[in-house]
Amino acid sequence: MFDIVGSSLQHIQGGRLIPLAVTSAERSKVLPDVPTMAQAGVPGYQITGWHGIAVRAGTPPAAIDKLNATVNAIFKDPAFRTRWEAIGTPAVGGTAAEFGALIKSDSQRLGALVRSTGVTLD
């Protein structure tokens, strides 16, 4: 089973789940003894979840910039960072362009992976 650290953490800490590996490139700060997939013997396997805010196409750039600045300010707040990172979710800010590039990159990489398996929704 694969899950994000944030939703599994209480079950791991309670002994109801035993983590075998994390799918990120680096070990989780909240699960430092759990290896990455590469460290567990599966090199090249990296799938990282992310959170973001999307707006409709055509949203004025000034509105996007204001929203982005607000989110980045929240990520810099020490109290927010402490709570966010305590559940295993890194507080990573950035620009709208960087987020768009991440979405595009993940879509291409994971889309190619799905296509290579021949799996269909039928």
pLDDT at 61 over 90: yes
Quick: pLDDT tens for 9-39.
Answer: 999 999 999 999 999 999 999 999 999 999 9
DSSP the chain: ----HHHHHHHHHTTS-----BSSSS--TT-TTSPBTTTTT-TT------------TT--HHHHHHHHHHHHHHHH-HHHHHHHHHTT-------HHHHHHHHHHHHHHHHHHHHHHT----
Looking at domain 1-49, does it have CATH number 3.40.190.10?
yes
Q: Is the pTM of this model over 0.85?
A: no
CATH 3.40.190.10 domain locations along the chain: 1-49
